[in-house]
Amino acid sequence: MQNVLIVIHLLIVIALVGVVLLQRSEGGGLGMGSGSGGISGFMTGRGQANALTRATAILAGLFFITSMALAVMATHGRAQRSIIDGAPAPAGTTAPAAPSGPSAPNAGGVLDQLRQMQNQGGSQPPQPGTPTR
């Protein structure tokens, strides 16, 4: 259903661009407003100008409707997520593990928490005195 609506939306966009380009402008856009050229009599007269204006308004309305429908379809079926759900717990809620080794003066620091997270993942962090590649 969403693919069909996208195709309809694209057709409306192409038609809207075409109708806007066909309209006669004050500055003579695309050379259609001037007296020269083989297509100068193609869109002349008040009736055609009103028809193009009405077609532009209808296509613009359809464009907005299909845009809103596509936005609703894109968000339909997604589970609502909150930024707060993925945030880590505040530092005061869990007691840090007893530090050991050279990091004893900085107990409970960010680096210690990162080391604990790496150790839980199964990989050992490099020791401060060993070179890394």
Residue 37: inside a domain, yes or no?
A: no
Residue 63: inside a domain, yes or no?
A: yes
Instruction: Give this prediction's pTM.
Output: 0.48
Q: Which domain holds residue 16?
A: 2-25+45-75
Residue 58: inside a domain, yes or no?
A: yes
Q: How many domains does the chain have?
A: 1
Q: Are the beta carbons of 59 and 34 closer than 8 angstroms?
A: no
Inform me whether the pLDDT recorded for 66 exceeds 60: yes
- Tell me the three state secondary structure of residue 122: coil
Residue 50: inside a domain, yes or no?
A: yes
Residue 12: inside a domain, yes or no?
A: yes
Residue 8: inside a domain, yes or no?
A: yes
What pLDDT shows up at residue 4?
94
Q: Are the beta carbons of 69 and 7 closer than 8 angstroms?
A: no
Residue 83: inside a domain, yes or no?
A: no
Percent of the chain topping pLDDT 70 = 57
Inform me whether the pLDDT recorded for 46 exceeds 90: no
Inform me whether the pLDDT recorded for 98 exceeds 80: no
Q: Is pLDDT larger for residue 33 or for residue 45? A: 45
